[in-house]
Every structure is written in structure tokens, then in C-alpha cells.
Structure 1
């Protein structure tokens, strides 16, 4: 599976490792920021909290991944990656 992803993205193993690290750190940062933002809202941890948390994390994720990708030198990869995701979402709505 990892070989297929590496070949699909046409990257070296070193760059592949940096990309996966960016995904992991960006996702962790996104979850942390989501909890931090919702702590200011003083919501009880019920169904509404978790629905809002999912929405907040979904909105924050692209920004967190792009921010983390800069020091890892993978900004161009993630800019293209997020552009393809956006294109797929837009085309499905038509």
C-alpha cells in the first residue's frame, strides 16, 4: 500500500516520509486547536459539542497541514494535493 502511494505521488522515500510526518503533525495540531477553540465556547461534552468539533476540525485541517508543510519543505505538494481535493468536491456537486 505504501509503495502504491509513493508511486502515485511520484516522490522519493525521504519525501514520502516527510509527507506522512506532515499529515500526522498537521492532524494532531488540528485536533489540539479544535479542542482549544471549543474550550472557549464553554460547551458541555454532548452530541452538539462533537458535531461542532468535527466541523471545526474539518475546516481547520487544510490550514494546519499547509502551515506544517512549510518547515518540512512540502508546501508545493500539499498545495497541489488540497487543490485536487477541492476540484473533486466541486465536480461532484455539479
Structure 2
């Protein structure tokens, strides 16, 4: 992947993140804002994995972090959502 292609993919992800923030400013547009954010993050992660040489290290770190996050999330009740957000 050339440097120009890489920059364009990251630019697309950045634009999607900005659109996500704009969408989250209104309850009517929140669903679309979340979708833009998810697509932007998927692009950023996939491009990063495509250009790095240490994919296994990144995936292991993500698995460890995901496991810890899932364990913390299961122990928090719905009334403790602010504490869960703070823990993450």
C-alpha cells in the first residue's frame, strides 16, 4: 500500500469520526452517528493491521484488553453505568 493510499484511508476514517460526533449531537441522528463511528474505527484498525509487521502482538494485546473489559463489564450492574464508563 502506497503512502498516498494510506493517507486517503486514514482521511476517510477521520471524516467518519467527525460525522460520528456530529451525529451524536442529536438523539434523532445518534444511530447513524454510531454507525459512522464504527465504520471509521473498522477502517482505521484494518489499515493499521494491513501495514504493520507485528500483527500477532497487536491481536494478543487486543484479546487481553477485551477479556479484561468483558470481565469488568459483567460485574457492573446497569445502575452503575457511570462507574463502568470510568473503568473503561
TM over 0.5: no
Shorter-normalised TM range: 0.3 to 0.5
Give the TM-score, by structure 1 length. 0.39
Higher relative contact order, chain-length normalized (CA < 8 Å, sep 6+): 1
